[in-house]
Amino acid sequence: MLSNILKISQDAKAAKKLNPELIDATVGMLHHESGQIFTYQTVTDTLCSLKENEMYAYSPANGTAEYRNGIVDWVFGKNKDRIKNAFQINVIPTTGGSGAISNAVYNFNDFGQKILIPNHYWTPYENIAEEANVGVETFSMFDKDYRFNVGDFRQKAFALAERQKRLFLILNDPCNNPTGLCLSKADWVEVIAVLNDISRRDIPVILLHDLAYLDYHAQGFDGARDIFETYLELDENILAIIAFSGSKTFSLYGFRIGAQIGLTKSKDVMADFCRVGDYSVRARFSSVSRSGMSVVGQIFSRPEKKAAFQNELLTAREILKKRVDLFSAEAEKAHLQTLPYGGGFFIGVPTNNPDIFDDLVKDGVYSITMPGLVRIAISSVPLSDIERLVQILKKNV
Amino acid sequence: MLSNILKISQDAKAAKKLNPELIDATVGMLHHESGQIFTYQTVTDTLCSLKENEMYAYSPANGTAEYRNGIVDWVFGKNKDRIKNAFQINVIPTTGGSGAISNAVYNFNDFGQKILIPNHYWTPYENIAEEANVGVETFSMFDKDYRFNVGDFRQKAFALAERQKRLFLILNDPCNNPTGLCLSKADWVEVIAVLNDISRRDIPVILLHDLAYLDYHAQGFDGARDIFETYLELDENILAIIAFSGSKTFSLYGFRIGAQIGLTKSKDVMADFCRVGDYSVRARFSSVSRSGMSVVGQIFSRPEKKAAFQNELLTAREILKKRVDLFSAEAEKAHLQTLPYGGGFFIGVPTNNPDIFDDLVKDGVYSITMPGLVRIAISSVPLSDIERLVQILKKNV
């Protein structure tokens, strides 16, 4: 199956031109109430002030120092010193978070192997795996109370790891796409305990941590970064690869700027990561967006820009919060079940309707649907549409 | 071997900061005499006038109509109508020309197969192949008179095609990187005759035509496009994939915008090309630079912009011509042998010195060297350095 999120989004946009009443809940990009794409003034100002060579020239092969160091400090935040002390770290610039994920899946799996993901997942994971001649296996993301299902994760992880003598896990957290779930720190402690147990059986373990929506956590900047404390317990031989998305954090969707952050306590594992990671970047897309790298690097490395940008992020999170609060209130009134939301661009709505996509379209709602789930991109639905959206969902799920 | 062109370029740049006398002939980007990167006013003006969604949003999955149609018209120029009548055509946007080449090599070779390239080649071809689990085999690019060696090409192509029952050929023409060679129309007639002979033995033939430097042909816009007339003879089952580089044509190096243009007379072959090409874009980098696509699309589709841009290209070619003319005159005076130059960013200088790279660095010249060859990026060497450059080359080759 070819995931068609971008294609469905285009169809929705075309349909909305003909019928402005239509609700387009497909797009994983933050939009203003007016329907205008949400951009950051700090980003625009920085972009407009770039020198020619910071925009038009090729990026340095391994990224600028500002970019590399800035990303590490930004992602780990209050935990950065402890993380930097405990781990070997390397940053490899990629074409967005997708490039980071694609290269990691290709580099760290043998053909025919399977990677482990939750049963609700961003469908391109499956395409990325298939492109790399790799399969997917899933565990149940939720238990019956809609909490993270550590038990099923443990069972599936062990079974797969024992069978193929390798475990490659993708977790998209916090602000999971498509469900909106944020794992608690306690959940992460358990996840890492499972990974450690497997690693101690001399089975290579790779954790690919996709945190595209980190900066839209409802708990704010510091709250989103609590989970990294649990990283400190990672077993020596485990390789963690964080997929960072400049697209989401900076609204630089169309720029294709992201990174792999490799972390491990083992020098050998790090040497492998650097060698193959660097090679793949050059052999797959040669280098990444220079303007994207310049903007992100400058914002990360200049305190006044960083502060201004963090202030704008508060506004972005406030836009999401207002919509989510209204959606939740309306859902409660309408007795529409929703999945637990911890932050990000998406609210998950369970469904038993196999024709849910078409039924919603008939009632004027475009969404991304997957087995058992409707993904509502609250990032692009204005407040004025939410009551109607909830009613249409309630009618069709 | 990991090709390190971008890395050596960075080293050269760092060294030049310490010693401004140093000659940096590594960089495949056009520069003014002042050392400033050459940018096009039409590109900058278009970039600055983009709407937010033409810059920040994700690109449409298959590219905008302006981009897709514009590229076909631009690349084929005076031959566009005949080409459009004769072939099925599809355009797939990629992250620069490199992305186009990487995806094509990955998609159209089985693991362990070999692709055919000339013995002088842009070294990343080898890395791209290795990343795809594919090997390279070479033919002699030149005969003893430094003309294109059709005889050796025919022999190696047949041998490889018979052995593995597939032929995947990469030709970088016109304005070959690294030699500066431009194949004549007569050369292309012969190349295509060989491909047809192989195809008629029921062996699949894929021609990957990398024309990154098309727009810097010394014969100008129309002269560069003479060769496409020879395409018309391509056998029905052959797939030609043109790798187009927005980096070079528009000085949009750091934007990572390019395309695969697939051409074939067979509907089935085209259906395959579209299916796998589209899949790979989504699974490898999700989508490409929106701003790059917007700029290129607008320039291609708006006649006044297109005319202004073509006028600027004349200036760019004039800069190259002056340098090449001076280099040739100095080389003649110094009895330095050079390879035949037909256009583009590079002049090839044959060498027998296995330590040529280090010897040139000792004398203050950074270049890209390969077995038997020094690649001089005349695109970034100002007139004032050329006499000295030729002398240092003469001393060391």
Residues B212 and B356 in one domain: no
Which residue among B55, B98, B131 places its CB closest to the CB of A279? B131
Please indicate whether, in this complex, the C-beta atoms of B39 and A52 are within 8 angstroms of each other.
yes
Residues B180 and B292 in one domain: yes
Nearest residue in chain A measured CA to CA from B103: A284
pLDDT of A170 over the 50 cut: yes
Which residues on chain B are in Cβ contact (under 8 Å) with A56?
A: 29, 37, 39, 251-255
**pLDDT of B3:** 57
Residues B335 and B390 in one domain: yes
Residues B293 and B352 in one domain: no
Whether A135 maps to a domain, the answer reads yes
**What is the pLDDT confidence band of residue A1, given thresholds at 50, 70 and 90?**
very low
Which residue among A58, A98, A131 places its CB closest to the CB of B253? A58
Nearest residue in chain A measured CA to CA from B252: A56
Whether A45 maps to a domain, the answer reads no
**What is the pLDDT confidence band of residue B9, given thresholds at 50, 70 and 90?**
confident
Nearest residue in chain B measured CA to CA from A62: B7
Asked if residue A343 lies in contact with residue A292, where contact means CB atoms within 8 angstroms, the answer is no
pTM over 0.80: yes
Residues A228 and A350 in one domain: no
pLDDT of B23 over the 90 cut: yes
The mean pLDDT of chain A is 96
Q: What does the pLDDT look like over B156-180, one tens digit per residue? A: 999 999 999 999 999 999 999 999 9
Which residue among B127, B256, B283 places its CB closest to the CB of A128? B283
Nearest residue in chain B measured CA to CA from A30: B57
For an interface test with A, which of B9, B41, B247, B256 has the most A Cβ atoms less than 10 Å from its Cβ?
Answer: B256
Please indicate whether, in this complex, the C-beta atoms of B287 and A39 are within 8 angstroms of each other.
no
Whether A46 maps to a domain, the answer reads no
**pLDDT of B2:** 45
Q: What is the CATH number of the domain that holds B257?
A: 3.40.640.10
Please write down the HEC assignment for all residues of B187-255: HHHHHHHHHHHHHCCCCCEEEEEECCCHHHECCHHHHHCHHHHHHHHCCCCCEEEEEEEHHHHCCCHHH
Distance CA B224, CA B227 (A): 7
What distance in Å separates residue B14's CA from the closest CA in chain A? 12
For an interface test with B, which of A44, A285, A379 has the most B Cβ atoms less than 10 Å from its Cβ?
Answer: A285
What distance in Å separates residue B29's CA from the closest CA in chain A? 8
Other residues' Cβ atoms within 10 Å of the Cβ of residue B73: 15
Nearest residue in chain A measured CA to CA from B5: A61
The arithmetic mean of pLDDT across residues A28-48, rounded, is 96
Q: What does the pLDDT look like over A287-335, one tens digit per residue? A: 899 999 999 999 999 999 999 999 999 999 999 999 999 999 999 999 9
Other residues' Cβ atoms within 10 Å of the Cβ of residue A371: 9
Residue at token pair 């498509």: A178
Which residue among A251, A283, A287 places its CB closest to the CB of B127? A283
Residues B11 and B135 in one domain: no
The arithmetic mean of pLDDT across residues B116-145, rounded, is 96
Distance CA A377, CA A285 (A): 30
Which residues on chain B are in Cβ contact (under 8 Å) with A255?
A: 56, 289-291
Whether A344 maps to a domain, the answer reads yes
Q: What does the pLDDT look like over A110-164, one tens digit per residue? A: 999 999 999 999 999 999 999 999 999 999 999 999 999 999 999 999 999 999 9
The arithmetic mean of pLDDT across residues B233-252, rounded, is 97
For an interface test with A, which of B27, B282, B368, B380 has the most A Cβ atoms less than 10 Å from its Cβ?
Answer: B282
Q: What does the pLDDT look like over B295-327, one tens digit per residue? A: 999 999 999 999 999 999 999 999 999 999 999
Distance CA A340, CA A337 (A): 10
What distance in Å separates residue B260's CA from the closest CA in chain A? 13
pLDDT of B242 over the 70 cut: yes
Distance CA B16, CA A361 (A): 61
For an interface test with A, which of B3, B47, B131 has the most A Cβ atoms less than 10 Å from its Cβ?
Answer: B131
Which residue among A98, A127, A279 places its CB closest to the CB of B279? A127
**pLDDT of A2:** 45
Please state, in angstroms and as integers, the Cα–Cα distance from residue A363 to each residue in A23, A24, A35, following that order.
9, 12, 20
Residues A183 and A263 in one domain: yes
**pLDDT of A27:** 86
Please indicate whether, in this complex, the C-beta atoms of A285 and B102 are within 8 angstroms of each other.
yes
Which residue among B29, B99, B282 places its CB closest to the CB of A58? B29
What distance in Å separates residue A130's CA from the closest CA in chain B? 8
Which of A341-355, B5-19, B88-102, B358-372 has the lowest average pLDDT? B5-19
The arithmetic mean of pLDDT across residues B210-239, rounded, is 98
Distance CA B254, CA B245 (A): 12
User: Which residue range(s) make up the domain with B299?
Assistant: 52-304
Residues A286 and A340 in one domain: no
Q: Give the residue from B285, B304, B323 where a domain finishes.
A: B304
Give which of B5, B347, B323, B320 is closest to B181, Cα–Cα: B347
Whether B46 maps to a domain, the answer reads no
- For chain A, the domain total comes to 2
Residues B234 and B253 in one domain: yes
**pLDDT of B213:** 98
Residues B365 and B240 in one domain: no
Cα angle value B172/B175/B176 (rounded, 5°)? 40
**pLDDT of B7:** 82
Question: What's the DSSP call for residue A339?
Answer: -
Helix axes B65-76, B290-301, angle to 10 degrees: 60
Whether A128 maps to a domain, the answer reads yes
The arithmetic mean of pLDDT across residues B212-235, rounded, is 98
Please state, in angstroms and as integers, the Cα–Cα distance from residue A355 to each residue in A122, A275, A360, A364, A372, following that order.
19, 46, 9, 14, 11
The token pair that represents B151 in the structure block: 């005889």
Please indicate whether, in this complex, the C-beta atoms of B289 and A254 are within 8 angstroms of each other.
yes
Which residue among B53, B98, B280 places its CB closest to the CB of A286? B98
- The continuous run of DSSP H or E covering B275 comes out as helix B267-284
Asked if residue A92 lies in contact with residue A257, where contact means CB atoms within 8 angstroms, the answer is no
Nearest residue in chain B measured CA to CA from A102: B284
Please indicate whether, in this complex, the C-beta atoms of A96 and B286 are within 8 angstroms of each other.
yes
Whether B98 maps to a domain, the answer reads yes
Nearest residue in chain A measured CA to CA from B255: A289
Residues A314 and A189 in one domain: no
Which residue among B10, B278, B290 places its CB closest to the CB of A254? B290
Q: Give the residue from B258, B281, B304 where a domain finishes.
A: B304
What distance in Å separates residue A200's CA from the closest CA in chain B? 31
Q: Give the residue from A304, A324, A359 where a domain finishes.
A: A304
Please indicate whether, in this complex, the C-beta atoms of B56 and A280 are within 8 angstroms of each other.
no
**What is the pLDDT confidence band of residue A61, given thresholds at 50, 70 and 90?**
confident
Whether B178 maps to a domain, the answer reads yes
**Number of H helices and number of E strands within chain B?**
15, 12
Please indicate whether, in this complex, the C-beta atoms of B6 and A287 are within 8 angstroms of each other.
yes
**pLDDT of A60:** 85
Please indicate whether, in this complex, the C-beta atoms of B256 and A285 are within 8 angstroms of each other.
yes
If DSSP codes are grouped into helix, strand and coil, which group holds residue A203? coil
Which residue among B58, B131, B132 places its CB closest to the CB of A29? B58
- Phi and psi, residue A23, nearest 5°: -100, 120
Residues A26 and A124 in one domain: no
Q: How many CB pairs under 8 A join A and B?
A: 164
Strand order through the sheet with B368-370: B346-350, B373-377, B368-370
Please indicate whether, in this complex, the C-beta atoms of B102 and A37 are within 8 angstroms of each other.
no
Asked if residue B302 lies in contact with residue B72, where contact means CB atoms within 8 angstroms, the answer is no
Which residue among B56, B282, B287 places its CB closest to the CB of A251? B56
